[in-house]
Amino acid sequence: MKPADNHAYDSTDSLQKNKVSQTITNFISDEYAVERLDWKCNEILVSCVEDSTFDRLHRNGKVSLSILLRHDDFHFVRAWRKIPDNAVFLLDEHGRLYFSYRNMVASNDRPATPFVSPRDITADVAGLTSFGDSLELLAKVAESTGGWIVTGGEVTLGQWLRFNGLQVPDTEQDTRNLLDLLNFSTLPEPPKYGNYWQLLDAPDESPFKLVGNKRVMLLELTQSCTQDSEAIINGLGRRVLIESVPGDGATTSTDYRLQQVLESAALRHGQYYLSKLGWLDETAATKQSTELAEQLAAAVILLDLDPGLNIANTHFAGFDLYSKSYFKQHPSRIRVDLEAHLIKKLHVAPPLAPLVAQMILAGMAPEYLFPDWPPSLQMGTPACVIATQAIHLVEALAPGASRKMTYQHLMGFSQSTKSLAPLAALQAEGSVDPVVTWAWMNGLITRDAQGDLTPKEIERAIREYDQYVAMMLEATELFSRPLPDRRQLALQELKSREPDCDPDELLVKHRGGGSGAGRKVSVLDLYMSDELHTQDWDRIRGTSIYKSFPRLPDLFPVTELYETETASHFDAVLDGLTRNIQIAISQLFPEDAASIEDGAIGVYCVQQMNYKPARVTGRYGISPATYIPGETGRYGVILCVQHGYAIKCFELFPLRMECRHNPDLETLFNPLVSGSVFQLDTRFTDQKQLERAPVDLQAYLQNVTPRANVKSRIQIRKIGAFEAPGAYEKRDDQTPLYRSARVKDLGSLIARKNPYITEQEIHQLGLQQTVREKAIEKTDAIFNMILNLIIPFKSCVEGLTSGDPKKQGGAIFDCIVDAAVLAMTLFAAPAAIAAAASKAASIAGKLLSASRVLASTALSLFNPISGLPQLLKAGGKLLGRGVAKLSASALSLAHQAKQQLRFLTGANSYDLLKVIDHSGSAVHTRMSLDTVSHARALLKSDAIETVQHVVTRLSDKNFKLPKGATETELRHLANNAVKESAYQSKQAGDLESLIGRGALEELTEAFIKGHPVQLNDARSTAQGYTETLAVLYELESRKARYMKGYQQDILNLDLGKSPYTDVMPEARFNPLGYTDPSQRATAWMLKGSSSSGNDFDNVLGVLRDYTANKAPLNDPNVIREIHRKLVPDAVGRVRDAGAPTKYGSSPTGFALLEQHLKNLDPSHPHFDKQVLGAVVGFQGFGDGNGRTASALYSISQLRDNRFTAMPPHIFRELNGIF
């Protein structure tokens, strides 16, 4: 008998999923099938696995439809339509009937893809006896089986996807994303004991929670057994170690030996401990006394070593799991050190230390137990953030399962499941911890005197990570820009001036000297060769082309266009290199980073030395053999740093985003440095030949990973130097190294002096000369150099272009560490590799972006009851551990995520969707009733008389889904019940008096949509949700009163006095020197906006339209219209209530804004400031409040033909929320 929580791979649901996955794989690998079916998933057939969850729901409808089609009345239709016996019939959720042949499509060497081409025969059966009612009833069944009923042994692909709540793809990329989800979404069966912390981290309502007196009692029992002589693990484990030594000398796994210890301890002491704790009387204990005793044994062992342990702690018995000393160490190092700590400090027997370390880390830091981390993964890097976030997601769903996964499976699961909303939200919860750990290890946040992290430091950690990743992404974007193409530029210019001119039309030479007589040359080639403007070339006969297209002689010279684009592209390369260098240097150890900041720096490029043999010069002279400087390495430099009395040397490889301390170089560079850093007169030798320098020359020449223990003959040549900062040039300790002005200047110098590609080479690559022979040799050489750039990502690029989903999946996740550590700095090469390069860069960008978005949004997931804790313990276990228990939304997300994941992967033995009531209209009839009547009918109880009765009944821990009800109906009832019950609360009445009934209902609907009511979950009830809404209303009322009072106070201020008369300096917002007031206002708005994608012309147009139309700016409808034109993407967006901000939801904000606008007079001399403060201060839109407010401020002034730029500090003073 399979357990209810089965994770086995061989379930019928898992087999069904594999059938779907294989069908999609066959389809997308067959170009002919794709062309024929064009991503029509509702026509592609897939085998239906017998007794799968889907089959059990679909079977009744399929059989009923088959019986109906054997009706005598249908024989005539079948004969008239010439429908064959093996035809497939399909019925959709609207009651329309179709038939189709079962078709196959395939290329010669590919598996065939079965499909249907449905033909509608609904009209043919419309008058047949019983068909009408039967089809209507079966259509209801089709609603619960993905929208279709299909006869035979197959169903449509789109039908199965909709049944599972998955998006039906209609593009190749969406289909490949779906395939990743199907391939990676199955989790392995967790180990027997999960993470060993089931009792130490039990839910609050559990009778087996080890807190307070229970923990004290357990410690006393342990002390009585050991008499404080030794750690209890030594006594429990000694016997097992003796008994389990294999006779052949083979070793056994840690899991097996730990299982032996726990089973032995439970057998010997379990009943005694359970009895003393009073747990044997618990009903649950009698059903699982063995499992409970074994988990208790694990708790006893860990509590004996650290009585104060908690899963949210970052220390165990004095061992710091997140010490800064682990910066840039491999995660496996922590386990080794923890085992040594257990042996040395806690006197655990050496053979038992690995067992204890596994139990500790499985609960507190499971990322350190993962068995398949790549060797290049380092703590304190974005790669480690991404990887740890993935671990936290898996552990939240199935504790212990991550220890049985491969790296590819782990990352594939993490990235592909983002398409499932509950899983994506659950992943966001566990995203903060890794980000805070990153910030701590990089020295970007500090603890207070008690060793705690304040909320301010947590927010700073998230902000720094966001900026750090943004810098990496900016570099990736800069490197990924396509090369300028002279031919395309010429074509664009030609088409912009003369759109009807055919660029390929051939002309002949009619006048002028030189060559060309008799040749035919295209218009585009003549334009590119700067001959079109001479008008020496024209059509052979007929109307002159210059009469047909009179602007041709005046086209802007292509050479100037191309040079501008080339310079811009080269600047982007330099900017990208600068950012890479900033990131690379920021990864140095603190003591090395200090030398960069405070020391004198000499920057040296590396040149290859070429052997020049001896030769005769003149009659008797001989030139001896020697070495001369050759090619300069484009991919690395050496930094020689004088810091204090020490010399340090670093190898910097910008494209690899790597800076490494090389102490072996220091003896060679010592003689090359003179002067003193203290006297600020340090001097570095200009150049020097080194015969056996401890560097790998190939890394500088080819951008490959530097090899260890390699010596090279090189010449170093100084390309720049930085003096040590003076005594009075103290840097801001609050500025991280990656944002340091000195490091930025250093990066800029290196980028300019030693770029991996020059502006001339970029110019040559995109030249597209009409006589290609002139450039072939040079272009091929540069192209080969570009190919060398992507050698580190070769497998990634090959996989991405292979078309093989398995290879593609592997390629994506093999690239992850390189993508995160190296930022996937791929150069945008020409067509042969451009697509693959851009895909790889896109993958890197998505991974990095996702890691910061998750962290930045996670704070909003807190239940408004709990809010943000005042202090978060050292290491910032913010959401992924103890704090998450306070969050009702967190618990419901986990429940939803587990349900959807298990249903999709076949890892459950229960149905989430029930067969509908075959009466057809019963469910819809009940749902049309008022809430109390609906509950009385569904729950069959006359005792229900009020909405509160409904909430109480739904909150009963023994409540079960009534027979014949669906999840949809129950959710409909629950949503209405909690809303109506919450509306009756005093808190709702108070809020309604402030914002009105409409706004109250709108914010409630939005909140419930974003945070669905959860039932059948012991930790989340309808009553609890109602109470949560009451607290939400109270918080919203407080915010409403604050915003209302603040804006009322603004009306009482004299805004014509300082500081409200301060003006932003013109140069700060108007670098282009606009003089027109509306253009100046637009420039000011774009300067102050925190959103990207603002269009100058659109903003300018809105300002000019409303300056001219004189519409009242205190009219809410006018403000809505201005918002719609400025921020069309934000229309209809509702901001949730309950966020940790001074302002409330957008419905609250707009209701208050409407009331406040009645107090504003557009003729008031300071109306511009008043309306700006109100629109920003009330936050009445889901997004775009600042832009809308700024526009109103600007329009109000522009109507008087003036504009005064408001500085940011006055903007903040007027709104009161930022």
Q: Give whole-number Cα distances, 970 to 677, 708, 934, 950, in Å.
A: 76, 65, 10, 11
What is the arithmetic mean of pLDDT over 877-894? 41
Residue 143 has pLDDT above 50, yes or no: yes
What is the arithmetic mean of pLDDT over 1086-1099? 78
List strand residue ranges (DSSP E) for 264-373, in order. 315-316, 319-320
Signed CA dihedral, 841, 842, 847, 848: sign only: positive
Helix/strand/coil for 537: strand
Please list, in sequence order, all residues whose beta carbon lies within 8 angstroms of the beta carbon of residue 174, skipping any fewer than 6 positions away: 167
Q: Report how far residue 52's alpha carbon sits from residue 15's, in angstroms, rounded to the nearest whole number.
A: 8
Task: Give the pLDDT of residue 963.
Answer: 63
What is the arithmetic mean of pLDDT over 179-189? 82
Helix/strand/coil for 341: helix
Task: Give the pLDDT of residue 174.
Answer: 81
Task: Give the pLDDT of residue 754.
Answer: 95
Beta bridge mates, 92: 148
Q: Which residue has the higher pLDDT, 55 or 561?
A: 561
Type of residue found at 217: M
Chain Cα centroid distance, residue 1101: 35
Give, rounded to a whole angstrom, the gap between the first and last alpha carbons of the chain: 59
- What is the SS3 assignment for 1110-1175? CCCCCCHHHHHHHHHHHCHHHCCCCCCCCCCCCCCCHHHHHHHHHHHHCCCCCCCCCHHHHHHHHH
Question: Do the domains 909-1041 and 1043-1215 sit in the same CATH topology, yes or no?
Answer: yes
R_g of the chain computed on alpha carbons: 36
Residue 438 confidence class, pLDDT cut points 50, 70, 90: very high
Q: Report how far residue 348's alpha carbon sits from residue 338's, in angstroms, rounded to the nearest whole number.
A: 11
Mean per-residue pLDDT of the chain: 81
Task: Please answer whether residues 628 and 739 qualify as being in contact, where contact means their C-beta atoms are separated by less than 8 angstroms.
Answer: no
Task: Give the pLDDT of residue 852.
Answer: 62
Task: Give the pLDDT of residue 821.
Answer: 33
User: Residue 47: which H helix or E strand, with range?
Assistant: strand 45-47
Using one digit for the tens of pLDDT, what is the confidence trace for 468-514? 988 988 887 787 777 788 889 999 999 999 999 999 999 998 876 55
Task: Give the pLDDT of residue 618.
Answer: 67
Task: Give the pLDDT of residue 732.
Answer: 59
Residue 881 has pLDDT above 90, yes or no: no
Q: Which residue has the higher pLDDT, 1138 or 565?
A: 565
Q: Which residue has the higher pLDDT, 326 or 944?
A: 326
Strands 683-684 and 673-674: antiparallel
Using one digit for the tens of pLDDT, what is the confidence trace for 326-339? 999 999 999 999 99
What is the arithmetic mean of pLDDT over 741-749? 95
What is the arithmetic mean of pLDDT over 761-768? 78
Q: For domain 909-1041, say whether CATH 3.40.50.970 is its number.
A: no
- Token couple for 491: 């074509």
Using one digit for the tens of pLDDT, what is the confidence trace for 505-550? 999 988 765 555 568 889 999 999 888 999 999 999 999 999 999 9
Type of residue found at 493: E
Residue 810 confidence class, pLDDT cut points 50, 70, 90: very low
Q: Where are the domains of the chain?
A: 12-172, 213-448, 486-564, 573-757, 909-1041, 1043-1215
Task: Give the pLDDT of residue 915.
Answer: 22
Q: Report how far residue 267's alpha carbon sits from residue 297's, in angstroms, rounded to the nearest whole number.
A: 10
Using one digit for the tens of pLDDT, what is the confidence trace for 606-659? 999 998 887 877 666 777 878 889 999 999 999 999 998 899 999 999 988 899
- Token couple for 425: 């939200």
Task: Give the pLDDT of residue 942.
Answer: 77
Residue 1158 has pLDDT above 90, yes or no: yes
Task: Give the pLDDT of residue 368.
Answer: 97
Residue 672 has pLDDT above 60, yes or no: yes
Q: In what order do the strands lie in the sheet with 148-150?
A: 119-120, 97-100, 88-92, 148-150
Please list, in sequence order, all residues whose beta carbon lies within 8 angstroms of the beta carbon of residue 838, skipping any fewer than 6 positions away: 480, 826, 828
Please list, in sequence order, all residues whose beta carbon lies within 8 angstroms of the beta carbon of residue 24, skipping any fewer than 6 positions away: 157, 175, 178, 179, 182
User: Residue 691: which H helix or E strand, with range?
Assistant: strand 687-693
Task: Give the pLDDT of residue 205.
Answer: 58
Task: Give the pLDDT of residue 416.
Answer: 77
Residue 1016 has pLDDT above 80, yes or no: no
Task: Give the pLDDT of residue 421.
Answer: 66
In this structure, of 254-263, 288-297, 1018-1027, 1053-1062, the range with the lowest mean pLDDT score is 1018-1027
Residue 811 confidence class, pLDDT cut points 50, 70, 90: very low
Q: What is the DSSP string of 228-244?
A: TSS-HHHHHHHHHHHHT
Nearest to 44 by CA among 231, 178, 193, 224: 178
Percentage above 90 pLDDT, the chain: 42
What is the arithmetic mean of pLDDT over 258-277? 89
Q: Tell me which residue has tokens 């500085």.
A: 1207
8-state DSSP, 1106? H
Q: Report how far residue 906's alpha carbon sits from residue 839's, in angstroms, rounded to the nearest whole number.
A: 32
Identify the architecture of domain 1043-1215 in CATH.
Orthogonal Bundle (1.10)
Question: Long-range contacts made by residues 237-246, C-beta under 8 angstroms, separation at least 24?
Answer: 237/261, 237/349, 237/351, 237/352, 237/355, 238/349, 239/264, 240/264, 241/349, 241/351, 241/352
- Token couple for 510: 């009619």
What is the arithmetic mean of pLDDT over 982-1011? 89
- Per-residue burial over 1175-1186, b = 16 or more CB atoms within 10 Å of its CB, e = otherwise: bbbbbbbbbbbb
**How many CB atoms lie under 10 A from the CB of residue 10?**
9
Task: Give the pLDDT of residue 904.
Answer: 57
Residue 838 has pLDDT above 80, yes or no: no
Task: Give the pLDDT of residue 1000.
Answer: 94
Task: Please answer whether residues 218 and 299 qualify as being in contact, where contact means their C-beta atoms are separated by less than 8 angstroms.
Answer: yes
